[in-house]
Structure 1
């Protein structure tokens, strides 16, 4: 259930992006050189992250299905706006392959995506920060770990067998408040809706992947609750594959057989739980520097257009990207 503040933020999101679309786009394109200059931040993590999201090294040719920057698909709208925020600085005739929505396979050609499966050969999936209003909503948490309920909580859609398996595994555990709040959930799995703030009252919050990534992972890691989850198999701009088990989160077995033992352990060792929470919070702060976020986004696209042979690289910018 959306709060007034969240609804207001969504209205502002759409208003701001609509305004960007109606302004003469030439005004943005004139700023490209200056934006690229400012994007060369001295922070080495900028170069590391842009090359992590865009792992391409070799030249390629856009596919026959590629679309012009000036004609990006408008649906889903938030994907369009999040990509157009940075694409509008480039020539509208430039071609790009895009796959909006939940991506469960690596594209056959280099494509802009929101997420990709975690595997060795994934360079064709070029990640941009798409659908960020939903996925990067990380509200603050004012309640200390020690002051929370010593229980486990999970809510979500039963759109993945993993989630049903989890509910079956914990149904008889008295310290678990887990279920689905969706109207179509079977009665045996049905539980009332909980807001993020209500989740944050629990010491332990479980994160489970759905069709692709777990949407709740980011706000859990930004809270003062301990994140418990199986190791991720998909990643987004949040770079889930770089999360370390027992450093940023508590790993769960595929059958969830270790959940009781893990909760009991951290109830006896709260300082260790707080250490993991602190590391998770620090990881989330990686994405709080808006200057860096914008620089990386622009450079990810720039690298894509250079390697696709559509832009002659500026020597300074390309030296910055390649190191």
Structure 2
């Protein structure tokens, strides 16, 4: 029998609807032919010259695509013409095809779909990359955004929230989260638990909470799993503080540019100072509010859909040029 808490989570989780996502993307796939998208590309790219935020846009393009010299692709690279939904995880297909369909089908590209923490052998489109030197072969695109890019309208002021930290997430196969629960499960200053089909320890099983229920707490843990912490975007859009160690991976959200104790509350990699950091901001709500404001400012830059589309197309354009395919960009086929 399904409990009332489970039903509440199913119908009011606060997450993006995957059904709506798939319907929208199937319609986008079917309603207009690819040749129409290719005919629009040059006009969209040229619109950059008239924008007052041109330098900002180009700085983001260069951040996502760090190729500084021409780097030809190997024979493993696939033509756009051979890229089909069958055989690929749907969200990664849709989120990449949304933009790659604007380009000539003879162009070749390499991609690595999924939660990526490894460096790439050749220039590849990825959702995530490690925050290390020499990661220029990992070109970021906003993929799996239906799960990652969620923004909330939080009406609860920080000072009205519970003086506790909240964590819910899958833990199996995620060593950093296991370490966190080993240290903080059962502590009265925290409401932490693992959710998912399987549990590392039965006693760690927590009740699934909606995003709105998370917002009742002053502190929300954003802990990396396979790559980044997927909840970081909605936490930073709220009036709660995102609490986490310094990130080791990044996505389209540019986690590597976030400033500790300016955009989020940094804790040690072993989580040992969590309670100390919480007590500081409970006693200094003005400092907490300043971080929350900075987090909101960071979130705002991702909410202009037309600009995000332009940046995505420019990333692909730079990728194809830097992989030695400039001549093919003139084609409409």
Aligned residue pairs, count: 314
State the distance in 2 between where 1:136 and 1:188 align. Answer: 31
1:144 aligns with 2:170: no
Structure 1 residue runs without a partner (length 5+):
315-323
Q: What is aligned with 1:160?
A: 174
**SS of match in other structure, 1:130:** coil
TM-superposed deviation, 1:301: 0.2
- Check whether the contact 1:306–1:313 (CA below 8 A) recurs between aligned residues: no
TM-superposed deviation, 1:7: 8.4
Q: What is aligned with 1:94?
A: 107
**SS of match in other structure, 1:303:** helix
- Check whether the contact 2:15–2:150 (CA below 8 A) recurs between aligned residues: no
Matches within 5 A, 1:211-230: 211-230=226-245
Q: What is aligned with 1:238?
A: 253
- CA gap of 1:183–1:131, structure 2 versus 1, over 3 A, is closer
Q: What is aligned with 2:91?
A: 78
Q: What is aligned with 2:322?
A: 307
Q: What is aligned with 1:318?
A: none
1:52 aligns with 2:51: no
Provide TM-score, normalisation by structure 1. 0.93
The C-alpha deviation readout for 1:267-312, integer Å capped at 9, x for no partner, is 1111101111111111011101112101110000000111122224
Matches within 5 A, 1:104-183: 104-158=117-171, 159-183=173-197
1:199 aligns with 2:210: no
Q: What is aligned with 1:286?
A: 301
State the distance in 1 between where 2:117 and 2:141 align. Answer: 16
**SS of match in other structure, 1:238:** coil
TM-superposed deviation, 1:120: 1.3
Q: Decide which of 57, 75, 78 is 1:67's aligned counterpart.
A: 78
- Check whether the contact 1:62–1:110 (CA below 8 A) recurs between aligned residues: yes
- CA gap of 1:160–1:190, structure 2 versus 1, over 3 A, is same
- Check whether the contact 2:221–2:244 (CA below 8 A) recurs between aligned residues: yes
- Check whether the contact 2:166–2:191 (CA below 8 A) recurs between aligned residues: yes
RMSD: 1.8
- CA gap of 1:171–1:113, structure 2 versus 1, over 3 A, is same
Matches within 5 A, 1:247-286: 247-286=262-301
Name the stretch that deviates more: 190-199 or 21-30: 21-30
